[in-house]
Amino acid sequence: MFPQEGETVPKVRFKGFEGEWDFVTAGEVFRTTNVRNRPDLPVLSATQDKGMVKRSDIGYQVFHDKSNETTYKHILPGQFIIHLRSFQGGFAHSNIEGIVSPAYTVMEFKNKEFHYDYFWKYIFTSKEFIKRLELITYGIRDGRTISFDEFKEMDFFIPSKLEQQKIASYFCNLDKQISLQTQRLEKLKQIKAACLDKMFV
């Protein structure tokens, strides 16, 4: 579904799409944004599996000085952040508006007309991307964070926006199915536990 090394088209492709993918650098696609002074918005945190979520929803208390929220960075739906857990990938997609720690780098598309945020979300969480990222973040476990200046030199092959949307839709549907199956499995575990409790009373 993505081109292999040395190739410009994927071996597996959705029907109706043809032609080579475009070769771009991250710096041609993304730019950083640094809007602040929005303490009226909820504080967001980066998660490995859900992207950006409200800090109040992460299940544990994170204390911070509310008076510093004027320095927090504004993030909009469709934007991304580079965060500190870089050895886990380090990039998170946001589908909600809020503010984030000034330690995060917020980035957006230079031209939304050509790019679909959910396509890039899946690129940034792919094993291949994380593997490539490790090459420019050697020593990350010693406290080194990802630099946007380093990231913007990375190169990618990308299709038209329409094909990006098709690919992202496929992965979104898979995620929904995985979530449903996970919920069903958890429900079955609860039923089993309840039956065992009643059986051995």
> Which residues share a beta bridge with 139?
none
Judge whether 176 lies within some domain: no
- Whose CA is closest to 123, among 85, 91, 84, 78? 91
Q: 139 pLDDT exceeds 60? A: no
Express each pLDDT in 4-51 by its tens digit.
777 788 888 999 999 999 999 999 999 999 999 999 999 998 887 788
Q: Decide if 144 is inside a domain.
A: yes
Q: What does the buried/exposed string (b/e) look like for 20-52 if buried means 16 or more CB atoms within 10 Å of the residue's CB?
A: ebeeeebeebbeeeeeeeeeebebbbbeeeebb
Confidence check: pLDDT of 135 > 60 = yes
> Does residue 152 lie within any of the structural domains?
yes
Domain total of the chain: 1
**Domain assignment present for 6:** no
Q: Domain span at residue 37?
A: 22-158
pLDDT score recorded for residue 61: 64
- The pLDDT, as a whole number, for residue 77 is 97
Reported confidence tier of residue 130, pLDDT bands at 50, 70, 90: confident
Task: Say whether pLDDT at 140 is over 60.
Answer: no
Q: In this predicted structure, what is the pLDDT of residue 4?
A: 79
* Position 201 in a domain: no
Q: Give the rounded distance of the alpha carbon of 167 from its chain centre.
A: 15
- The DSSP H or E segment spanning 185 is helix 161-199
pLDDT level of residue 147 (50, 70, 90 thresholds): confident
Give the pLDDT confidence score for residue 112 in this predicted structure.
94
In a domain, 15, yes or no: no
Name the burial class of residue 107, with classes exposed (0-12), middle (13-18) and buried (19+) by CB atoms within 10 angstroms of its CB: buried
CATH number at residue 141: 3.90.220.20
Task: Give me the pLDDT at residue 5, please.
Answer: 77
Q: For residue 181, tell me if it sits in a domain.
A: no
Residue 48 belongs to a domain: yes
Rounded to the nearest angstrom, the gap between the alpha carbon of residue 67 and the centroid of all alpha carbons in its chain is 28
Tokens 């039923």 belong to residue: 191
DSSP characters for 74-133? EE-TT-EEE-S-GGGT-EEE-SS-EEE-TTSEEEEES-GGG--HHHHHHHHTSHHHHHHH
CA angle 92, 83, 137 (to 5 degrees): 110
